Structure 1
Amino acid sequence: MSQTYFDLYYRGDVLDGYSADQVRRDLAVLFKTDDARVATYFSGRTEVIKLRVAEVTVARYQRALRDIGAELIVVPEGAPAPADPRPIQPTAAPVSIDTSSLSLAQTGADVLDERPQQPAAVAVSGLSLSDTGADLRDTTGAAQDDVPKPPDTSHLTLK
């Protein structure tokens, strides 16, 4: 026996006889969430409540949301979410940009600005080169006292 699954959505629709404020408070209690999360359910967009819900569980969700005055939207699993009935209005006016001073380069044209690069001025007067295979350690001025002594490990034992 195969199980049928559904996706549950909510769009902020309130059933007749219920107030939106009361539904918001009851949704917060039902879903054990804060007011900010519940506010997204009333934004006018279709919001996911739960995906891949077994058929027997869908009835419990429908009953619980109907009891608080919220209208649940149920679609078969994997089906597209229902379209929003009211289009969302843009919040900002479109930006107008003057493009009259812009032009396009011809196809295949080199568009990189090739400026000659100046070599970096690095002071190298204090540097010297050693012969190939020479020992590069400076042992000329190192005193015996400069070499750190190994730590005292006489108190350590192995068992």
Structure 2
Amino acid sequence: MIEGQYDVIFRGQIVKSFELSDVKANLVKLFKSTPEAVERLFSGSEVTIRKGLDYAAAMKYQSALRNAGALALIKEVEAEKESPPPIQEIKKTATTSNIDSSNTTPADRRDTTESQSIRASNPEAADDSEGLTMAQVGAQILPPKVYEQRDVDTSDLSLAKAGERILPEKEPEKHAQPSIDHLSLTDN
């Protein structure tokens, strides 16, 4: 399951096959609201429909809006980062060592010392390293990107057949012949 909080955003865009009046009527029914309230959604600015949903609920809202003819986006809410611990705690963690040097090789001690120095320089890494897990091979670990649908008119474009000349034929350029009467060949 995808973790995090998501907002459902609407920018007034509709599905290409729907008419604007039909979409507005569908949204009045969907939200059980008034036409005036739905009209405010089409102001041209970004309107948040729902805030702080889990990913599955946000997808349900997006799907319901799409069925009504409205194109909605899902944005991940950025969680507030915790403040780093005081410097005294970082120094204490870096200097405290619970390594039994009699049973370790120099390489083991170096690896442990390096990991402690990494934790000391990056306290977030120290907090995250204790709860690390691995996903199954091929598992989706990031939410899929949501792209805005663009309305691009391609009706004027066509494809040429293989070997067909694409550019129009050009007439050969005509240049004046240079006069070479004054030139001669001599043996030296």
Q: TM-score range by the shorter chain?
A: 0.3 to 0.5
TM-score normalised by length of structure 1 = 0.46
User: Larger Rg: 1 or 2?
Assistant: 1
Q: Which structure has greater helix proportion?
A: 2
TM-score normalised by length of structure 2 = 0.39
